[in-house]
Amino acid sequence: MRAEEVAGKLREALGPKALRLETPTERRVFLTVAVEDLEDAVRAVLGLSREARFMTISAVDEGLDLELLYHVDVGGTVVTVRIKVPKEEMEVLDISHLAPAAEFIEREIRDLFGLEFVGLKPEKLYTPEGYEEKPLKKPMEGALPPQARPMAEALMGSACSVSVSRAVMRKRQDLGLPAMPPMAMAKPEALEEVRSLAEEVGFTERAGYDLEKKRLRYR
Amino acid sequence: MVKYGVFLGCFIPFRYPCVEAAIRKVLDALGADYTILAGYTCCPEPMLTRLVDPDLWLMLAARNLALAEEQGVEELVVPCCGCYESLYEAEHALEDEEKRDQVNQVLSKLGHEYKGTVRVECLTGILYRDFMSKLEEMVSRPFRARVAIHYCCHLFRPRPGEDIWLKHDRSRDLVRSMGAEVLRYKLERFCCGFPAFQVDPEFSLRERLAPKLASMRAVGAECVVTACMACITQFERGQVMLRRYGMRYDMPVLHPVELVALAIGVEPGELGLEVHRSPVPQLVKRIYGS
């Protein structure tokens, strides 16, 4: 089965759950889904053909997220289901009930990265009992160097690079100036514009800025 | 008459309202047609933001420029050299039509468009270019002090074909015409150390700020004048921090527009100079006796 055909069938089966479908070559398909849609995605891929065969899972520590790549051979075309598990959660569904061979690699990933597979049997595979280090897990770090983090949070939080104190606002009034200058921070809709622009240019994702919590995901 | 828009930035309103007061009083006294830009964000600051995420930097700077155009501004007057660099570099980058189209595609979702009609200029350059003769006539209380000018690194951004020293020469001539004696101290081009402070405060203070202050003191400077708010912060905060290394300078630090305001007769009490962390009020008292 060729990549385009596979992609078409997956698009049909998963609908909007298929966040991204790429076919870089005739025999390669990448399917990106949300963590909660993993089971549906793997089921759809395995259901493409009776010859579909689970191969393995690759884990990549990206600093803030753990990327998991589930590789399945579908009649000579390799389909990879890609998910990103935020390190704040570090939990994903075990798929060994769909593909029993996944159990070994899931246990290995758990031993080396500390990722929990919900439903997976607790025995270790790779590291000795009593050894609790996760040797391949990197520190929770994003792209911004420490010096740039306060600036990034200030920009996203108030669109201003300095903090505002009541004393300065009083001083401004003493000088006959408006307590608050006409900056974006004085208008919620202007601040929202700034966050939209940051999201639009991909800054929030690149920098690891959580728009809901209004802070970077790391210190 | 040119319609000016003043881009106050972040440091001026929230750290140095004395500079904002001086800007407003000087422009009012000159009868300039100006507005304070509304709805603006941080320029954004030209070092960390531009290095770390050039896309975000350009987008926010373009939004500021678009706001200026929407508010009828012809020249965006920037009192801080750091903001000037950021906005001027953005103006320059957006001369590329492809880049401008990309930026406008995003801005248009929020109802903005950058057309490229507004021109970015530094405040000292505007005061020199458009108001010099008027200012000279208005000097009623010359600022009689020996001044060392710190020509901020960010100001070395000439327009195509422009002399790289033009803005600095204008700053010097402006300060001189206010009655000050401008001293040469040999380390004019030396960075104050503010950027390095983010990474290595001790290096920034001992290897950048201290030699600069020492050379200023060696030629008899009574104060530092610089138009960059980051540099003012470095000179003022840095002098306090240098005391821990046994170095004490007590050098007042002013923005040129404060000096202009004082020279044209604005009362020191109207400027709130006590906001400075260096002995500016003492210097002013010595010069004007009040």
Go through the domains of chain A in sequence order and give each one's CATH number: 3-118 (3.30.460.80), 146-216 (no CATH)
A198–B52 C-beta distance less than 8 A: no
Please identify, among B90, B122, B154, the residue that sits at the C-terminal boundary of a domain: B122
Contacts of B270 in chain A (CB under 8 A): 175
B151 in a structural domain: yes
Domain co-membership, B225 together with B107: no
Tell me which residue has tokens 């990879």.
A80
pTM: 0.88
Asked if residue B93 and residue B12 are part of one domain, the reply reads yes
B110 found inside a domain? yes
> Is residue B117 located within the same domain as residue B146?
no
Quick one: B222 and B94 in the same domain?
Answer: no
CATH number of the domain that B183 lies in?
3.40.50.11810
Same domain, B116 and B159: no
Best mutation site among B34, B53, B58, B67 for testing chain A: the one with the most A CBs within 10 Å? B53
The average confidence (pLDDT) of chain B is 95
Q: Which chain B residue has the Cα nearest residue A199? A: B56
Please indicate, yes or no, if residue B147 is contained in any of the structural domains.
Answer: yes
Report residue A178 as tokens: 């408006």
- Structural domain boundaries, residue B230: 141-288
pLDDT (tens digit, 9 = 90+) per residue, B266-287? 999 999 999 999 999 999 999 9
Q: Same structural domain for residues B97 and B217? A: no
Whether the Cβ atoms of residue B287 and residue B145 lie closer than 8 Å to each other: yes
- Which of B67, B87, B122 is a domain's end point? B122
Question: Is position B213 within any domain?
Answer: yes
Contact residues on chain A for B59, CB-CB shorter than 8 A = 197-198, 200-201
Kindly state whether residue B133 falls inside one of the protein's structural domains: no
Tell me, what DSSP letter sits at residue A185? G
Per-residue model confidence as pLDDT tens for chain A (219 residues)? 899 999 999 999 999 999 999 999 999 999 999 999 999 999 999 999 999 999 999 999 999 999 999 999 999 999 999 999 999 999 999 999 999 999 999 999 999 999 999 999 999 998 999 999 999 999 999 989 888 898 889 989 999 988 888 999 999 999 999 999 999 999 999 999 999 999 999 999 999 999 999 999 998
Structure tokens given for B83: 């903001």
Contact B40 A184 (CB under 8 A): yes
Asked if residue B151 and residue B64 are part of one domain, the reply reads no
Are residues B256 and B162 part of one domain?
yes
Domain boundary (B94, B122, B150) is at B122
Same domain, residue pair B175 and B253 = yes
Q: Is residue B76 domain-resident?
A: yes
Q: Indicate if B102 and B224 belong to the same structural domain.
A: no
pLDDT value, residue B278: 97
Secondary structure of A143-159 as H, E, C letters? CCCHHHHHHHHHHHHHC
Residues 6+ apart with CB under 8 A from B195: B47, B204
| pLDDT digits 0-9 by tens, B129-168 | 999 999 999 999 999 999 999 998 888 888 888 898 888 8
By C-alpha distance, the chain B residue nearest A187 is B39
The span from the CA of A75 to the CA of A62, in Å, is: 31
Number of domains in chain B: 2
Q: Which two tokens mark B216?
A: 């200023």
The reply to whether B8 touches chain A by the CB within 8 Å rule is: yes
Closest CA–CA distance from residue A75 to any residue of chain B (Å): 42
Interface check B44 vs A, CB under 8 A: yes
Burial class (CB in 10 A: 0-12, 13-18, 19+), B139: middle
- Any idea of the CA torsion for B114, B115, B118, B120, to the nearest 10 degrees? 60
Q: Per the domain annotation, does B134 fall within a domain?
A: no
- The answer to whether the Cβ–Cβ distance between A183 and B13 falls below 8 Å is yes
Q: At B31, which CATH number?
A: 1.20.1050.140
Query: Does B282 contact A at CB distance below 8 Å?
Result: no
Predicted pLDDT of residue B290: 64
Residue A187 tokens, joined = 């208008």
Residues B167 and B205 in one domain: yes
Residue B174 shares a structural domain with residue B240: yes
Mutation for A interface: B12, B56, B65, most A CBs within 10 A = B56
